[in-house]
């Protein structure tokens, strides 16, 4: 019975780690694509380039934040949880600030 529980826990850890890696990778891809689109927008002098960049960064941060939240499932020590909590707070604050910037940018374009 104990072997079965250890096997299930190992499988669970692998699934969670895969999910974290997937969410982190999606966040990085979104950020890279957004950066490329924003550079292209700058070259074309698109007035909406700041808004496009801010929205892409916000979406990428939300995926990265989701990965951090998922990572909390497999944390075993309080020190790891404190570090993850600090990362989640920082990314949450960044997301809040970027959404505030998006709202201001949309208001200035109207």
The predicted pLDDT at position 30 comes to: 97
The predicted pLDDT at position 26 comes to: 97
Residues of the chain with pLDDT below 50 are none
pLDDT in tens, 21-51: 999 999 999 999 999 999 999 999 988 898 8
The predicted pLDDT at position 59 comes to: 93
The predicted pLDDT at position 46 comes to: 87
The answer to whether the CB of 102 falls within 8 A of the CB of 58 is yes
The predicted pLDDT at position 15 comes to: 93
């Amino acid at each position: 019975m104990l072997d079965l529980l250890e096997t299930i826990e190992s499988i669970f850890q692998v699934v969670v780690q895969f999910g974290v890696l997937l969410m982190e990778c999606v966040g990085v891809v979104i950020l890279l694509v957004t950066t490329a689109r924003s550079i292209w927008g700058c070259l074309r002098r698109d007035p909406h380039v700041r808004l496009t960049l801010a929205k892409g960064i916000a979406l990428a941060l939300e995926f990265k934040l989701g990965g951090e939240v998922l990572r909390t499932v497999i944390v075993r020590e309080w020190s790891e949880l404190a570090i993850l909590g600090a990362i989640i707070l920082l990314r949450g604050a960044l997301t809040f600030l970027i959404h505030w910037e998006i709202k201001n940018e949309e208001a200035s374009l109207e």
